[in-house]
Chains A and B, each alone.
Chain A
Amino acid sequence: MATKVGRDNQIVPAMLFLIPASIGFLAFFVWPTFRGIYLSFTDDNLLSDPTFIGFQNYIDIFNDAVFWRSMAVTFQYVFINVGVQTVVALALAVLMHRFTRSMVVRGIVVLPYLIANVIVALVWFWLADYSLGLINAVIETIGLDKIGFFGSEAWAMPTIALVNVWRHVGYTALLLFAGLQAIPRDVYEAAEVDGAGEFRVFRSVTLPLLRPVLAFVLVVTIVGSFQIFDTIAVTTGGGPVDATRAINFYIFERAFERFDFGYASALAVILMILLAIIAIVQNRLLRANESDMER
């Protein structure tokens, strides 16, 4: 009887077990969140004490051409990165599902995702180098004009987006592959009995049954994609001109190169609100998809 009472009210041991995690949560998540919001209303510059300046940073951001340009290139990046990545990952997941059960293949496919962004960026920076890189050497051998992958305004952001497709596509494919494996086997038997071809099976069986997992994967990849930083930092540094100055990189520059901590905090608040809206909207769509499935 005594144990029964104890089992329903274990708040004392529960709190003791939560002490270390709570310290981390309060000190490095909650406190900085409120501090960040507060800083966004100040002119903090790391040197002198911050002064409260109301919405001035937000007004300045609204009139900041660099900010708008930065949002535009961020959206360009997200659009190319997520678009290409989702299509290729879906194709790859289906390939793995239909043609192999090899763990080694899955391991190889996910390998780039486990290598640091910085390493991946540098390897492709070398492969796609204008004067000495392999890709341009091949292009020249074929007799075409060399491409300034990282050096030209038109190519830089698409190149960075595709480099990160290379890094993430296997990981995304693996998530989708797991979703494919959850599809009951007998629907494929039925499709086979009906004599459905490869593309017919994909369009009529695989895709509709995979939509909930696909929607989940899209939420994760879009929110992650908005936070592109490492690849830009080690390759283009925001250039050429400002063709690759994505929002995270712009925040970093304002905070740690120009020490406009207040202004950078306001930029970060805007990014946080934007990501929250995207996550909520996508969550709605995800639920809509699931109810579609149940019919």
Chain B
Amino acid sequence: MSSTTTKRPKKVRSSTAEDPAMAKSPVSKFFGRLALAIVIIITLFPIYWMVRTAFSDNRAMFGEPLSLLPVDFTLGPIKRVLGLATSAESIAEGGSGASINFGQYMVNSIIAATLITVFQVAFSAMAAYSFAILKWKGRDAVFNLFLIALMVPIIFTILPNFILIKDLGLLNTILGIALPAMFMTPFAIFFLRQFFFGINLSIIEAAVIDGASQWRIFSKIVIPLVWPQIITLALLQFIFYWNDYLWPLLVGTTDESKLLTVGLGIFRSQTPAGNPDWAGLMAGALIAAIPIFILILIFGRQIVGSIQSSGVK
């Protein structure tokens, strides 16, 4: 990463020469880059402000609302929302003193998002194999039927699904949160089907002649060929379900089943209107965002690439 960063000025100049879509005139270049710099600042500043607030003393902060650095730098808010501070310590720094445990919610979020991602991607890959590699009558009609599900608004299926999960006795369990998404999502099948179409069929035909079973072809040949796309899809779905709010809000309301987003919403609604614990709230938000930041740092290139390719169809 660092080596490419130091070389970048050179690279940009040389690619400008090759790429006619890039602006040439120095005046255009100056204003264009200035505008980009402003966009980047507007994008990053609110995220920085969350970090700055999360490390500030909630009482002292209100005296210096314009301070760009954390006010009286402290780990108090982080400790407070992780349930590591005593109630006296919390109150001294302007917290509410009520017990909140984002550590537990984070464990719940990790379990729920992982459970959904692993099963959903595996089952969707099997379905995509059926829709792209296997030949059978009515294949495209059934696929289109699956795609129609994309058109149904989330709120519409949520009401009956809530009744179903309630009847199954899965309210306030992580399994109840995960179950509706674990079997498939039309998007995942659609995403993988495209890559399966790109596979050279002669490899598969050779395996059929050798007498390999369909399961063996699927697991030993096809999946390894599209492994990078499987990982990218898994990342996108993990982030999506990590960020999800409405469904977990309805199904998981106990400490054992509450996800981070839900915990944040409740924390916000419980803060007293006159004297809110903004530092604590931003500390909770930061904790919920950090796993996503880490994933982006590691896999940013794949994520950006997959979003870009989803546009041109």
Please give the residue numbers on chain A whose beta carbons come within 8 Å of chain B beta carbons, in ascending order: 3, 6-11, 13-18, 20-25, 27-33, 35-36, 39, 46, 91-92, 95-112, 114-120, 122-127, 129, 132-134, 137-138, 141, 166, 170-171, 174-183, 185-186, 188-189, 192, 198, 213, 216-217, 226-227, 229-230, 233-234, 237, 248, 251-252, 255-256, 261, 264-265, 268-269, 271-272, 275-276, 279
Contact = CB atoms under 8 A, between A and B. Distances in A.
Interface of B: 5, 8, 12, 15, 19-25, 28-29, 32-33, 35-36, 39-40, 42-44, 46-47, 49-50, 53, 61-62, 65-66, 119, 123-124, 126-127, 129-130, 134-137, 139, 142, 146, 149, 151-157, 159-164, 166, 179-184, 189, 205, 208-209, 214, 218, 239, 242-243, 245-246, 249-250, 260-261, 264-265, 268-269, 278, 281-282, 285, 288-289, 292, 296, 300-301, 303-304, 307-313
Contacts, number: 316
A65 to B, nearest CB: 21
Is the contact region of chain A dominated by helix, strand, or loop, or is it mixed? helix
Contacts of B249: 233
A17 B39 CA distance: 46
Nearest to B308: A178
B53 A126 contact: yes
A98 B15 CA distance: 12
A268 B245 contact: no
A248 to B, nearest CB: 5
B132 to A, nearest CB: 11
A8 B309 contact: no
Given A21-B126, A234-B268, A175 B152 contact: no
Given A123-B47, A141-B66, A255 B159 contact: yes
Contacts of B313: 216
Given A7-B208, A268-B156, A123 B311 contact: no
Ranked 9 nearest A-B pairs via Cβ: A24-B183, A175-B311, A32-B160, A116-B243, A21-B127, A99-B32, A21-B184, A137-B65, A20-B123
Is the contact region of chain B dominated by helix, strand, or loop, or is it mixed? helix
Contacts of B180: 24, 27-28
A106 B304 contact: yes
Nearest to A201: B23
Contacts of A14: 130, 134, 136, 139
B130 A17 contact: yes
A166 B12 CA distance: 27
Residue from B218, B281, B308 having most chain A Cβ neighbours under 10 A: B308
Given A28-B164, A198-B23, A268-B159, 20 more contacts: A9-B136, A20-B126, A31-B164, A95-B32, A100-B33, A107-B303, A114-B239, A118-B264, A122-B268, A122-B285, A126-B281, A126-B282, A127-B49, A132-B65, A132-B278, A134-B66, A192-B20, A229-B245, A251-B159, A252-B155
B196 to A, nearest CB: 12
Contact of A107 (B8, B127, B135, B296): B296
B136 A17 contact: no
B151 A279 contact: yes
Nearest to A217: B311
Contacts of A171: 307
Contacts of A28: 157, 161, 164, 179-181, 183
26 contacts: A10-B214, A14-B136, A18-B127, A18-B142, A21-B146, A25-B183, A36-B160, A95-B35, A96-B36, A99-B29, A111-B43, A115-B292, A116-B245, A138-B66, A175-B311, A181-B308, A188-B21, A192-B24, A217-B311, A227-B154, A230-B246, A230-B261, A248-B155, A265-B159, A271-B153, A275-B151
A3 B304 contact: no
A198 B292 CA distance: 37
Residue in B152, B154, B155, B300 whose Cβ sees the most chain A Cβ within 10 Å: B155
A244 to B, nearest CB: 15
Given A17-B130, A20-B126, A188-B21, A33 B152 contact: yes
A74 B44 CA distance: 29
Contacts of A234: 245, 264-265, 268-269
Given A32-B161, A233-B249, A271-B153, A21 B124 contact: yes
B134 to A, nearest CB: 4
Nearest to A247: B155
Contact of A6 (B182, B208, B260): B208
Given A9-B135, A166-B46, A23 B153 contact: no
Nearest to B211: A3
Contacts of A32: 156-157, 159-161, 164
Contacts of A3: 205, 208-209
Contacts of B261: 116-119, 230
A112 B43 contact: yes
B24 to A, nearest CB: 7
B23 A99 contact: yes
Contacts of A30: 149
